Amino acid sequence: MTDDIKKLLDFGRIGLETGQYEQAREDFEKVLTLDPSNREAMKGLARVNEILNRRMATPVEPTRAEPVQPPRKASVEPTKPEVEPAKPRHTGEPTTRRKGKRRWLALAVIPVALIVLAVAYPRVAPTLLATPTPTSTPMPMPTSTLRPTQREDFLVYKEQTFKLLAQWSDTLALAFSTERMSLAGPVADLQRIRRDWKDLDPPDVAITFHRQMREYQDEVIARLLEFMEQGKQIDWTETTGCRDKVDDSGWKLFGNDWVSW
pLDDT at residue 104, rounded to an integer: 62
Question: Distance between terminal CA atoms of the chain?
Answer: 12
Q: To 10 degrees, the CA torsion angle through 36, 37, 42, 43?
A: -170
Handedness of CA 152, 155, 160, 161 (dihedral sign): positive
| Percent share of the chain, pLDDT over 70 | 63
Which of the pair, 75 or 149, is modelled with greater confidence?
149
- CA distances (Å), 242 to each of 127, 239, 256, in order? 36, 5, 20
Other beta carbons within 10 angstroms of residue 38's beta carbon come to: 21
For the chain, the farthest-separated pair of C-alpha atoms sits apart, in whole angstroms, at 112
Query: pLDDT tens digit string along 174-209?
Result: 888 888 888 899 899 999 999 999 999 999 989 999
- CA distances (Å), 172 to each of 50, 193, 238, 257, in order? 29, 11, 17, 21
pLDDT at residue 137, rounded to an integer: 46
Query: pLDDT tens digit string along 9-23?
Result: 888 888 878 888 888
Encoded amino acid at 172, one letter: L
Query: pLDDT tens digit string along 208-219?
Result: 999 999 999 999
Query: pLDDT tens digit string along 84-104?
Result: 555 555 455 455 555 555 666
> What is the C-alpha to C-alpha distance for residues 190 and 200, in angstroms, rounded to an integer?
16
- CA distances (Å), 164 to each of 28, 96, 140, 189, in order? 25, 86, 21, 11
pLDDT band at 157 (very low <50, low <70, confident <90, very high): very high
Strands (E) located in the chain: none
Which domains, ranges and CATH numbers included, belong to the chain? 1-56 (1.25.40), 145-261 (no CATH)
